[in-house]
C-alpha cells in the first residue's frame, strides 16, 4: 500500500501552521500504526506516512485516494474509534475533517459505514442564540465582517466548521494583510474578537441548516479532538438554534476536479488539496507532481512546488498564458499550455505513475499526445461558491460565465455575502467586501460604523476556461466514457449520465435521481457542477444556466442524529400516552396493545384463561349481559361559532344543518378525492357549538384538516376548533343490561327508551357528584351509553361504573373484543377496513352520503367513472366454510379458477380482519372484495393456506341485521 511518495516535509522547509511538531501522537489507520502530530487529521497523518489509498469506491470497488483537504472530500470516509472510555465508534466521518487523538483507530469504509450497535453513552445538548449578526465562515471574509460588525457594537456570532480560523488563507505563505503576514493578521483578528464579550467565535461548528426568519441550526463538536474523556454532563456535541437578525455568508468556495479518463486514481487530487496538506500540515502529497488547470488559482502552489523541486509541469488548458502564469514561468514553472490531461496510468499497486497530456484543439478534440511520468496530479477545474445555505432558503442562484460557477442570483433579505462565495477569489476583495458586509449587517441592527477595510496586495487573475470534461481518447461511444468519473462518492461516470440522457432525461432533477449523482455523503460538493457540465455537453442546445442546479437541502454536511436529539433520548423520545383509567386496567391484569401513541387494554385475562378464552368471555358479556370499555382515547374536537353547522355540513358527507341540539350524528370524512379518512359521532351541544369525535389515531390529522379548510378556503365562516381529546375521559357501557347499570349511576336521568333515544345525549351530575355527559351511541349494536367526564374524574368514573355494574357482573372488555363486536355488526374501523382508496359507498356507508346536499368535500368524485366501476373493492363479510379456520388480516382472496391458474393471478380482494365469534358460533371476518356486494353467496379462497381456506361471501352485517338489539330489553 505504501509507496512513500507522500511524506512530511522538514519543519524548516514548510512548518505546517496547524500541526504542533512538539506534540507527537500515535494513530492506527487501516491497520497501520503511525506517528502523527497534534493538529493532524486522519488524511494528513495518512499522507505524512506515505499512504495515499483510502476506501475503495462504493460500487465498482476501484482504488481511491485522498482528493481534498476539507469537507468536500468524497473519498475518505472513516469509522473512528477513540482511545477513551465511554465513546462509541462513529462511521462515515470525512477523513480530512477528523482530528487525530492519541491511540485512535480509523478505518476507511467502502462508501458505506456501519452504525455502532451499542447505545451512545455520551452527552448531547443544545443552546439558543440570538445574535445581531451571524457570520458563517471564519475565512478572511468572515473575519473581516465579524471585526467590522463587532467594532460597530453589534453582538456577533461567528462560526466555522474547521478547527482553525482563517479559512483558505491559513498557511498561504505569499499573502500579506495590512503589511503583516496573513497568519499574523488572522491571529490578531481572532484575539480581538475573542477579547470582545459581545462576540462568540466558535470553531468546529458547522452551520448545517438555514430556515425561515433567519433561523439557523449548527452543530458544535466539542470533545472529539481531546485525548481525555470529559466528565459526564459535558456535552460531546452541542446543537445551536440560532435566530439572527442579520446574516453574513462568508462560506468560501470549493475547488472542483475535471472529468477525464481514469480521473479517479489514488494520487489525483484537487490542487487546493495539495496546497492545503503542504501549508497547513507540512505534508507533501507526492514527489513528482503535475498540475492540470483551467484557471490561475494553482500558480502560487506551482511556484512553491517548483521551488521545492517537486513540480514536473502545469498543464493549462488555456491557449493564452495569463499574467499570473507568465510570472510563474519567469519563476521557473514549466507550463504546457493549450493542453489537457486525457488519461492516466498506474502501477500494479494502483498508484498513479503517469498522465497522458494531449493538445486541446479548438473544438474540444484531442491533438498530439505525450506522456509525463508523475506520481501525483493536482487538478483545478475552477471554484464553486459555497452557496448551500442561500440555496436552502430558496435563494436564487445563477450561472456566472466569468466565475464558471453558480453564484448568488438574487440576495435574500437580511443576508449579506462576502468573500469567495460571491465568486471573487481575490484576497483583497474578500477582505473589502467582508468589511462592508459586516458594516451593512451591523447597521441594519442599529449599529453604525465607518468601514475599515483590511488591505491586501492587489492581485490579478486571468480568465477561467470553461472546461469540465475532457473527450475520451478512445472514441465517442458510452464505453469510452466508462471511466470518466463525475461523482466520486456515487461512482457515477459520464457513461451513466449518457444512459440517463439516452433514456430521454434532460432535467437535472431527473438525472440526479436516475444516476444518484450528488446524492452521496458529500452531496455533490465536487461533482454537481461537473455533472451539469457533462449534461450540457451531451444535450444539444442546453447551457449551464438553463440546466441550472438542484436546490440544496440541509444538512450542509453530515451531522449526527444523536446530536439533534440532544437530551431528548431514551423513553422520552416516544411519549407513551395513558388514559386516566390506565391504572385500573393494570390492576385488572390487562394485556396492553399500542393504538398509535396510546396504550390500550387489549383484553383482561383471568387466572388460567387463554387469550382466546378471555376475548370470548368479554364478547359474550357485552352481548348477553353488560360490558364496559375505556374509550377515552377517541379524538375530541370542540367546534364553536355561528357557522359551525355550515362548516360541518361541508366537511362531512351527510347533512349537519338540521341536527337538533341534544342529538348526535355519525359522520364520515373524505378527502376531496372522495376516499374515507376518518369517522365518528358529532354531538350538537348548542346552536353554535358541536362536539366532534374522531378516530383515536386521527385526532391530530382531523384538526389539521379542519384548520386547513378554514384558513385557506372558508375563512369567512365563523368557526373555531379546539382539541379537547385529553380533557374528557370516557367509559362506554354496553349490553342488554346497560340500562340497569346506568340507572344506578344517575338516578336523575330517565333512561326509558322513549325518554332517552338512540343518538341523544344528556348533561347531568352522577350520583357520586361527578359532572358527566351521557350519550346513547353504540359501537357494538347493543344498547350502549357513553359517559364522558372531565379527565380528572376518569379513574373515579371507571370505579363508579364497575361498582354500579357489580351486581350485573359487568365485564371490562378490551380492544380485541370490541373489534369482534363491531365486525359482527359490519361497523368499519377506518384504517383497518379502509386503506385510503375506499369511498364510503365501498364500505357499506352509502347511507351516510347525502344525495340532497349541494356540495361537500368529496362529492364531485362520486360522479367520476372510477367510482361507478362494478369491480370496485367493497366491504363484505366472509365466512369460512368449515366454520373454524382462522386467517391473518391482509390474507389475499382468489376465485376457485384462479386458485389453480398459473401465477401471478389477480386477487379478488383481501381480508381486513378475521375473528372467532361467540355470537355467530363460528369464525367470520370482513374483506374488501371486488364487486363484493354483487357476489354474495360466491366462494373465495385464501391460497396462502394449505389447503386453501374456503369462504362464502355474505352481507356486511352478520349479527342482528335488523338492529333489534339497539334499544336493549324493555
Ligand atoms: P474561505 O474559504 O477562506 O473561508 C470560508 C470558511 O467558511 C471556511 O473556513 C469554511 O470552513 C467555512 N464554512 C463554509 N461553510 C460553512 C458552514 N456551513 N458552517 C461553518 N463554516 C463554514 O473563504 P473566504 O473567507 O471567502 O476567503 C476566500 C479566501 O480564499 C481568500 O483568501 C482567497 O484569496 C482564497 N482563495 C484563493 C484561491 C486561489 O486562487 N488560490 C481560491 C479560492 C479561495
> Could you tell me which residues come within 8 angstroms of residue 900 by beta carbon, excluding any fewer than 6 positions away?
none
Please classify residue 544 by burial: count the beta carbons closer than 10 Å to its beta carbon, then call 0-12 exposed, 13-18 middle and 19+ buried: buried
Mean pLDDT of the chain: 95
Residue 474 has pLDDT above 80, yes or no: yes
Residues 396 and 498 grouped into a single domain: no
Does any domain span residue 712?
yes
Q: Which residue, by CA, sits nearest to atom 15 of ligand 1?
A: 251
Q: How confident is the model at residue 339 (pLDDT cuts 50, 70, 90)?
A: very high
141 lines ligand 1 (CB under 6 A): yes
- Name the nearest CA neighbour of 331 among 174, 513, 554, 106: 174
Please classify residue 655 by burial: count the beta carbons closer than 10 Å to its beta carbon, then call 0-12 exposed, 13-18 middle and 19+ buried: middle
pLDDT of residue 4: 67
Determine the number of helices (DSSP H) and then strands (DSSP E) in the chain: 22, 51
Q: How confident is the model at residue 2 (pLDDT cuts 50, 70, 90)?
A: very low
Max distance between CA atoms of the chain, in angstroms, equals 112
Q: Which residue, by CA, sits nearest to atom 8 of ligand 1?
A: 167
Give the integer Cα–Cα distance in Å for 849 and 858.
10
pLDDT of residue 232: 82
Does any domain span residue 488?
yes
531 Cα to the center of ligand 1, angstroms:
23
Q: Please give the share of the chain, as a percent, with pLDDT higher than 90.
A: 90
The β-bridge relationship of strands 676-686 and 664-670 is: antiparallel
Q: Ligand 1 atom closest to Cα of 253?
A: 2
At 156, which helix (H) or strand (E)? strand 156-159
145 Cα to the center of ligand 1, angstroms:
13
The half-sphere exposure of 419 on its side-chain side, counting CA atoms within 13 A, is 32
Does any domain span residue 558?
no
Q: Which residue, by CA, sits nearest to atom 10 of ligand 1?
A: 137
The β-bridge relationship of strands 922-930 and 909-917 is: antiparallel
CATH code at 237? 3.50.50.60
Site to probe by mutation for ligand 1, drawn from 251, 270, 525, 558 as the one with most ligand atoms within 8 Å of Cβ, is: 251
Q: Which residue, by CA, sits nearest to atom 42 of ligand 1?
A: 425
Give the integer Cα–Cα distance in Å for 381 and 469.
9
pLDDT of residue 501: 92
Q: What is the mean pLDDT of residues 435-440?
A: 98
Beta pairing partners, 449: none
251 Cα to the center of ligand 1, angstroms:
6
Report yes or no: 272 and 280 within 8 Å, Cβ to Cβ: no
Q: Cite the DSSP H helix spans in 154-256.
A: 182-195
826 lines ligand 1 (CB under 6 A): no
Give the integer Cα–Cα distance in Å for 309 and 291.
14
The DSSP call for residue 576 is: P
Residue 960 has pLDDT above 60, yes or no: yes
427 lines ligand 1 (CB under 6 A): yes
Lowest mean pLDDT among 74-83, 89-98, 438-447, 539-548: 539-548
The phi-psi region of residue 606 (left if phi > 0; otherwise alpha if psi is between -120 and 50; otherwise beta) is: beta
602 lines ligand 1 (CB under 6 A): no
Give the integer Cα–Cα distance in Å for 653 and 674.
9
420 lines ligand 1 (CB under 6 A): yes
Residues 669 and 750 grouped into a single domain: no
pLDDT for 911-933, tens place per residue?
999 999 999 999 999 999 999 99
Among residues 505, 522, 547, the one where a domain terminates is 547
160 lines ligand 1 (CB under 6 A): yes
Report yes or no: 915 and 888 within 8 Å, Cβ to Cβ: no
Collapse the DSSP code of 471 into the 3-class scheme (helix H, G, I; strand E, B; otherwise coil) and give the result: coil
Q: Ligand 1 atom closest to Cα of 218?
A: 19
Exposure string of 730-750, with b = 16+ CB inside 10 Å and e = fewer, is: bbbbbbbbbbbbbebbbeebe
936 Cα to the center of ligand 1, angstroms:
74
- Name the nearest CA neighbour of 264 among 483, 72, 96, 472: 483
Q: How far is CA 32 from the centre of its chain?
A: 37
Residues 243 and 156 grouped into a single domain: yes
Site to probe by mutation for ligand 1, drawn from 291, 325, 420 as the one with most ligand atoms within 8 Å of Cβ, is: 420
Report yes or no: 576 and 599 within 8 Å, Cβ to Cβ: yes
String of DSSP letters for 620-686: HHHHHS-EEEE-TTSEEEEEESTTHHHHHHHHBSS--TTPPTTBEEEEEEE-TTS-EEEEEEEEEEE
Report yes or no: 158 and 142 within 8 Å, Cβ to Cβ: yes
Q: What is the CA radius of gyration of the chain?
A: 36
Residue 160 has pLDDT above 60, yes or no: yes
Give the integer Cα–Cα distance in Å for 574 and 597.
8
433 lines ligand 1 (CB under 6 A): no
251 lines ligand 1 (CB under 6 A): yes
Give the integer Cα–Cα distance in Å for 465 and 322.
11
161 lines ligand 1 (CB under 6 A): yes
> Could you tell me which residues come within 8 angstroms of residue 397 by beta carbon, excluding any fewer than 6 positions away?
387, 390, 391, 406, 407, 408, 409, 548, 549
Q: Cite the DSSP H helix spans in 825-879.
A: 865-868
Does any domain span residue 733?
yes
Site to probe by mutation for ligand 1, drawn from 139, 244, 278, 295 as the one with most ligand atoms within 8 Å of Cβ, is: 139
Q: Ligand 1 atom closest to Cα of 205?
A: 20
The β-bridge relationship of strands 415-417 and 246-249 is: parallel
Does any domain span residue 203?
yes
pLDDT for 357-398, tens place per residue?
999 998 899 999 999 999 999 999 999 999 999 999 999 999
Residues 171 and 135 grouped into a single domain: yes
pLDDT for 200-229, tens place per residue?
999 999 999 999 999 999 999 999 999 998
Residue 456 has pLDDT above 80, yes or no: yes
Q: Which residue, by CA, sits nearest to atom 2 of ligand 1?
A: 252
Collapse the DSSP code of 483 into the 3-class scheme (helix H, G, I; strand E, B; otherwise coil) and give the result: coil
pLDDT of residue 748: 93
Residues 873 and 751 grouped into a single domain: no
pLDDT for 482-533, tens place per residue?
999 999 999 999 999 999 999 989 899 999 999 999 999 889 999 999 999 9
950 lines ligand 1 (CB under 6 A): no
* Residue found under cell 460597530: 152
111 Cα to the center of ligand 1, angstroms:
27
Residues 218 and 143 grouped into a single domain: yes
Residues 759 and 796 grouped into a single domain: yes
> Could you tell me which residues come within 8 angstroms of residue 552 by beta carbon, excluding any fewer than 6 positions away?
387, 388, 389, 391, 392, 523
Residues 144 and 243 grouped into a single domain: yes
Angle between helices 528-538 and 508-515 (to 10 degrees): 110
425 Cα to the center of ligand 1, angstroms:
9
79 Cα to the center of ligand 1, angstroms:
27
CATH code at 895? 2.40.30.110
Among residues 808, 823, 839, the one where a domain terminates is 808
Q: Cite the DSSP H helix spans in 539-602.
A: 544-547, 561-565, 582-587
pLDDT of residue 968: 83
Q: Which residue, by CA, sits nearest to atom 34 of ligand 1?
A: 427
CATH code at 713? 3.30.70.1400
> Could you tell me which residues come within 8 angstroms of residue 582 by beta carbon, excluding any fewer than 6 positions away?
599
- Name the nearest CA neighbour of 386 among 268, 524, 244, 488: 524
Does any domain span residue 841?
no
Residue 459 has pLDDT above 90, yes or no: no
Give the integer Cα–Cα distance in Å for 92 and 107.
10
264 Cα to the center of ligand 1, angstroms:
25
Q: Which residue, by CA, sits nearest to atom 43 of ligand 1?
A: 425
pLDDT of residue 969: 64
Beta pairing partners, 788: 730, 773
Q: Which residue, by CA, sits nearest to atom 18 of ligand 1?
A: 207
818 lines ligand 1 (CB under 6 A): no
- Name the nearest CA neighbour of 366 among 356, 381, 352: 356
Site to probe by mutation for ligand 1, drawn from 70, 146, 148, 167 as the one with most ligand atoms within 8 Å of Cβ, is: 167
Residues 249 and 388 grouped into a single domain: yes
Q: Which residue, by CA, sits nearest to atom 41 of ligand 1?
A: 297
Q: What is the mean pLDDT of residues 866-884?
A: 95
For residue 576, which phi and psi values (nearest 5 degrees)?
-90, 125
Does any domain span residue 286?
no
Residue 566 has pLDDT above 50, yes or no: yes
The half-sphere exposure of 364 on its side-chain side, counting CA atoms within 13 A, is 11
Residue 649 has pLDDT above 80, yes or no: yes
183 lines ligand 1 (CB under 6 A): no
Cell for 789? 367526564
Residue 9 has pLDDT above 90, yes or no: yes
Residues 705 and 783 grouped into a single domain: no
454 Cα to the center of ligand 1, angstroms:
16
Residues 197 and 160 grouped into a single domain: yes
Q: Ligand 1 atom closest to Cα of 175?
A: 32
Peptide bond between residue 904 and the one before it cis (omega within 30 degrees of 0):
yes
72 lines ligand 1 (CB under 6 A): no
Residues 782 and 897 grouped into a single domain: no
Please classify residue 4 by burial: count the beta carbons closer than 10 Å to its beta carbon, then call 0-12 exposed, 13-18 middle and 19+ buried: exposed
pLDDT of residue 638: 98
* Residue found under cell 380485541: 816
Report yes or no: 267 and 352 within 8 Å, Cβ to Cβ: yes
- Name the nearest CA neighbour of 663 among 680, 683, 645: 683
169 lines ligand 1 (CB under 6 A): yes
What is the tally of structural domains in the chain? 5
66 Cα to the center of ligand 1, angstroms:
20
Q: What is the domain range of residue 766? A: 728-808
Does any domain span residue 163?
yes
162 Cα to the center of ligand 1, angstroms:
11
383 lines ligand 1 (CB under 6 A): yes
Among residues 461, 488, 511, the one where a domain terminates is 461
pLDDT for 396-409, tens place per residue?
999 999 999 999 99
Other CB atoms within 10 Å distance of the CB of residue 821: 29
384 lines ligand 1 (CB under 6 A): no
423 lines ligand 1 (CB under 6 A): no
CATH code at 499? 1.10.10.1100
Amino acid at each position: 500500500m505504501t509507496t512513500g511518495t507522500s511524506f512530511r516535509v522538514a519543519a524548516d522547509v514548510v512548518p505546517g501552521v496547524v500541526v504542533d511538531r512538539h506534540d507527537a501522537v500515535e494513530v492506527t489507520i487501516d491497520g497501520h500504526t503511525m506517528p502523527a502530530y497534534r493538529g493532524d487529521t486522519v488524511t494528513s497523518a495518512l499522507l505524512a506516512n506515505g499512504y495515499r489509498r483510502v476506501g475503495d469506491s462504493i460500487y465498482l470497488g476501484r482504488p481511491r485516494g485522498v482528493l481534498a483537504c476539507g469537507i468536500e472530500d468524497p473519498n475518505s470516509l472513516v469509522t473512528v474509534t477513540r482511545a477513551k472510555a465511554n465513546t462509541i465508534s462513529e462511521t462515515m466521518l470525512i477523513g480530512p475533517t477528523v482530528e487525530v487523538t492519541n491511540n485512535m483507530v480509523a478505518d476507511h469504509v467502502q462508501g458505506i459505514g456501519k452504525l455502532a450497535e451499542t447505545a451512545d453513552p455520551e452527552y448531547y445538548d443544545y443552546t439558543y442564540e440570538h445574535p445581531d449578526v451571524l457570520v458563517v465562515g471564519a475565512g478572511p471574509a468572515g473575519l473581516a465582517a465579524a471585526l467590522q460588525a463587532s467594532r460597530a457594537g453589534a453582538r456577533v456570532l461567528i462560526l466555522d466548521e474547521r478547527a482553525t480560523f482563517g479559512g483558505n488563507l491559513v498557511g498561504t505563505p505569499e499573502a500579506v494583510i495590512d503589511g503583516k503576514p496573513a497568519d499574523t493578521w488572522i491571529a490578531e483578528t481572532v484575539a480581538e474578537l475573542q477579547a470582545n464579550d459581545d462576540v462568540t467565535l466558535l470553531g468546529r461548528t458547522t452551520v448545517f441548516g438555514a430556515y425561515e426568519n433567519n433561523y439557523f441550526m449548527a452543530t458544535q463538536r466539542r470533545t472529539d479532538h481531546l485525548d481525555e474523556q470529559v466528565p459526564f454532563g459535558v456535552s460531546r456535541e452541542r446543537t445551536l438554534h440560532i435566530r439572527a437578525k442579520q446574516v453574513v455568508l462568508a462560506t468560501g468556495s470549493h475547488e472542483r476536479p475535471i472529468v477525464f479518463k481514469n480521473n479517479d486514481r489514488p494520487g489525483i487530487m484537487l490542487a487546493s488539496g495539495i496546497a492545503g496538506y503542504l501549508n497547513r500540515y507540512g505534508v507533501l502529497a507526492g514527489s513528482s507532481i503535475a498540475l492540470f488547470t483551467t484557471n490561475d488559482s494553482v500558480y502560487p502552489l506551482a511556484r512553491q512546488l517548483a521551488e521545492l523541486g517537486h513540480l514536473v509541469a502545469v498543464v493549462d488548458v488555456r491557449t493564452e498564458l495569463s499574467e499570473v502564469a507568465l510570472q510563474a514561468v519567469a519563476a521557473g514553472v514549466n507550463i504546457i499550455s493549450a493542453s489537457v490531461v486525457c488519461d492516466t496510468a498506474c502501477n500494479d499497486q494502483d498508484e498513479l505513475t503517469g498522465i497522458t497530456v494531449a493538445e486541446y484543439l479548438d473544438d474540444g478534440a484531442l491533438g498530439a499526445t505525450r506522456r509525463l511520468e508523475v506520481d501525483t496530479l493536482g487538478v483545478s477545474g475552477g471554484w464553486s461558491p459555497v452557496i448551500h445555505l442561500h440555496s436552502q432558503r430558496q435563494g436564487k442562484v445563477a450561472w456566472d460565465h466569468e466565475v464558471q460557477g453558480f453564484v448568488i442570483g438574487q440576495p435574500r433579505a437580511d443576508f449579506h455575502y462576502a468573500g469567495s462565495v460571491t465568486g471573487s477569489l481575490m484576497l483583497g476583495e474578500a477582505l473589502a467586501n467582508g468589511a462592508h458586509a459586516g458594516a451593512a449587517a451591523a447597521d441594519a441592527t442599529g449599529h453604525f460604523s465607518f468601514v475599515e477595510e483590511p488591505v491586501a496586495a492587489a492581485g490579478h487573475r486571468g480568465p477561467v476556461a470553461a472546461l469540465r470534461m475532457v473527450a475520451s481518447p478512445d472514441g465517442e461511444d458510452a464505453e469510452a466514457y466508462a471511466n470518466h468519473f463525475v461523482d466520486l462518492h456515487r461512482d457515477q461516470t459520464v457513461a451513466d449520465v449518457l444512459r440517463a440522457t439516452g433514456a430521454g432525461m434532460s432535467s437535472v432533477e431527473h438525472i440526479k435521481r436516475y444516476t444518484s449523482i450528488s446524492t452521496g455523503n458529500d452531496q455533490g460538493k465536487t461533482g454537481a457542477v461537473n455533472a451539469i457540465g457533462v449534461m450540457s455537453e451531451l444535450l444539444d442546445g442546453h447551457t449551464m444556466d438553463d440546466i441550472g442546479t438542484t436546490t440544496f437541502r440541509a444538512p450542509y454536511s453530515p451531522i449526527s442524529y444523536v446530536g439533534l436529539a440532544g437530551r431528548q433520548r431514551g423513553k422520552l423520545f416516544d411519549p407513551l400516552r395513558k388514559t386516566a383509567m390506565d391504572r385500573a386496567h393494570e390492576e385488572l391484569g390487562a394485556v396492553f396493545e399500542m393504538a398509535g401513541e396510546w396504550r390500550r387494554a387489549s383484553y383482561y385475562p383471568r387466572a388460567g384463561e387463554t387469550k382466546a378464552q378471555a376475548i370470548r368471555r368479554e364478547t359474550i358479556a357485552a352481548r348477553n349481559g353488560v360490558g364496559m370499555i375505556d374509550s377515552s382515547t377517541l379524538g375530541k374536537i370542540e367546534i364553536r361559532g355561528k357557522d359551525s353547522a355550515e362548516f360541518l355540513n361541508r366537511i362531512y358527507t351527510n347533512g349537519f344543518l338540521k341536527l337538533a341540539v341534544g342529538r348526535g350524528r355519525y359522520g364520515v370524512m373524505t378527502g376531496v378525492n372522495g376516499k374515507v379518512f376518518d369517522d365518528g359521532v358529532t354531538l350538537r351541544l348548542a346552536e353554535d357549538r358541536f362536539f366532534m369525535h374522531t378516530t383515536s389515531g386521527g385526532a391530530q390529522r382531523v384538526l389539521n384538516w379542519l384548520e386547513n379548510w378554514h384558513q385557506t378556503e372558508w375563512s369567512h365562516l365563523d368557526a373555531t376548533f379546539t382539541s379537547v381529546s385529553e380533557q374528557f375521559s370516557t367509559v362506554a357501557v354496553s349490553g342488554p343490561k346497560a340500562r340497569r347499570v346506568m340507572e344506578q349511576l344517575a338516578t336523575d336521568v330517565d333512561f326509558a327508551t322513549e325518554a332517552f333515544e338512540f343518538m341523544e345525549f344528556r348533561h347531568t351530575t352522577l350520583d357520586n357528584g361527578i359532572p358527566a355527559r351521557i350519550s346513547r351511541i353504540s359501537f357494538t349494536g347493543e344498547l350502549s351509553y357513553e359517559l364522558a367526564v372531565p379527565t380528572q374524574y376518569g379513574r373515579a368514573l371507571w370505579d363508579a361504573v364497575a361498582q354500579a355494574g357489580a351486581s350485573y357482573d359487568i365485564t371490562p372488555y378490551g380492544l380485541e373484543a370490541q373489534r369482534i363486536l363491531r365486525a359482527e355488526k359490519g361497523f368499519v374501523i377506518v384504517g383497518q377496513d379502509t386503506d385510503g382508496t375506499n369511498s364510503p359507498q365501498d364500505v357499506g356507508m352509502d347511507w351516510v352520503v347525502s344525495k340532497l346536499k349541494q356540495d361537500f368535500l368529496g362529492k364531485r368524485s362520486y360522479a367520476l367513472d372510477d367510482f361507478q366501476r362494478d369491480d370496485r373493492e367493497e366491504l363484505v363479510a366472509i365466512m369460512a366454510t368449515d366454520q373454524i379456520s382462522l386467517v391473518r388480516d391482509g390474507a389475499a382472496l382468489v376465485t376457485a379458477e384462479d386458485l389453480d391458474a398459473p401465477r401471478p393471478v389477480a386477487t379478488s380482494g383481501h381480508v381486513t380482519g378475521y375473528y372467532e365469534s361467540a355470537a355467530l358460533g363460528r369464525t367470520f371476518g370482513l374483506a374488501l372484495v371486488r364487486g363484493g356486494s354483487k357476489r354474495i353467496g360466491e366462494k373465495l379462497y385464501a391460497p396462502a393456506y394449505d389447503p386453501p381456506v374456503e369462504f362464502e361471501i355474505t352481507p356486511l352485517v352478520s349479527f342482528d341485521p335488523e338492529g333489534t338489539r339497539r334499544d336493549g330489553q324493555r
